[in-house]
Amino acid sequence: MTDDAVEKIKSAYEFTEQFATKSWFAGEQFTIADICCVATISSLNEIYPIYAQKYPHLYAWLKRCSELDIYKKKNASVVANTGLVCSRLFYEAQKVSNMVLTLYKLDLSPPVRSVLMVIEHLNLPVQFVDVNFMKGEQLTNEFKKINPQHTVPTLTDDDFILGDSHAISVYLINKYGKDDSLYPSEPKLRAIVDQRLHFDSGILFPAIKYGFAQIVFKGGKKLTDDAIEKITSAYEFTEQFATKTWLAGEQFTIADICCVTTISSLNEIYPIDVQKYPHLYAWLKRCSELDLYKKCNDPGNKELGETFRSKLG
Ligand SMILES: N[C@@H](CCC(=O)N[C@@H](CS)C(=O)NCC(=O)O)C(=O)O
């Protein structure tokens, strides 16, 4: 195994160690958070065994899971608590002020812009705290106490802390939304929305992260074939998901919000070819005409594009 692969696995173990301090992954209740994570962690354990001394909580949690019949049979059906199960933090929130909702953000970040769009759509009063990446503020102990994964967006709602734009968006809608339009409760529609959200996490976001980092952080002068391949593949899949008015059908949902912030960022670093991806192009154009997009996505997206282009050779 390469050093690179071992580093990724260790980083996964380190984060998981911090999420695994209660009986189950999302607290005292066994949920799909356990199911989805244990399937991956147990596979990692097969290729790079977990060292019990170093990761005692992770080790104990994996053992607890592995004793369940459901684990042994590799067959599960458990109802989820949406939102909460998607991301867990077990640290004390640091209250910044009396305002209940606080969002730690950086406007250039696509996932931050998704949450900004949700906040705007729901018309929520939120206090914003900018995390200055240039000064490395995301890596300070102060911020890592709030989110050990040191990512933005991070939301605090009183003493509840949540990372990940998808989890935050779902939480805000579930808790503060006046209706279910952004995150439909009808099971099949919701499942499609969820699939798009995971598609953003698993395919779209890694493509922008990889391409952007190559040029902006690693001194590359042009996108490598590897980066272009990831972006092209992201466009090809999205083209196939974008054949209706909105990404999950005829209704505008957080599938559109979460994917458009990433796709528009990809478009800044590797423009979408309208001939090749006509549905994708038309969907992006439809999104970009919304006031919500203009107000919450445009400024940070332009900043991302300018930053990227300023570093190209
Ligand atoms: N899946 C996460 C990704 C969050 C993420 O990686 N954010 C980046 C900025 S775009 C970040 O905070 N990186 C800092 C770091 O990893 O230290 C989400 O949707 O919120």
Alpha-carbon distance 42 to 19, whole Å?
16
pLDDT of residue 135: 87
pLDDT, tens digit only, all 313 positions of the chain: 888 899 999 999 999 999 999 999 999 999 999 999 999 999 999 889 999 889 999 999 999 999 888 888 763 333 233 233 323 222 323 333 455 899 999 999 999 999 999 999 999 999 999 999 988 999 999 999 999 999 999 999 999 999 999 999 999 999 999 999 999 999 999 999 999 999 999 999 999 999 999 999 999 999 999 999 999 999 999 999 999 999 999 999 999 999 999 999 999 999 999 999 999 999 999 999 999 999 999 999 999 999 999 999 8
| Residue 4: predicted pLDDT | 85
Q: What is the pLDDT at residue 171? A: 97
The response to whether residue 144 sits with its C-beta less than 6 Å from ligand 1 reads no
Closest Cα to atom 1 of ligand 1: 164
Residue 74 has a pLDDT of: 67
Record the tokens describing residue 287, joined without a space.
């999104």
The DSSP secondary structure of 132-190, one letter per residue, reads -GGGTGGGSHHHHHH-TT--S-EEEETTEEEESHHHHHHHHHHHH-SSSSSS--SHHHH
Rounded CA-CA distance 114/119 in Å is: 9
C-alpha span between 35 and 176 (Å, rounded): 28
Ligand 1 pocket residue status of 150, Cβ below 6 Å? yes
Give which of 188, 157, 161 is closest to 253, Cα–Cα. Answer: 188
What pLDDT score does 313 carry?
83
- The closest residue, in CA terms, to atom 5 on ligand 1 is 151
The verdict on whether 265 is a catalytic residue reads: no
How many Cβ atoms from other residues are within 10 Å of residue 223's Cβ? 20
Ligand 1: atom nearest CA of 164 is: 20
Q: What separation in Å is there between the alpha carbon of 138 and the centre of ligand 1? A: 10
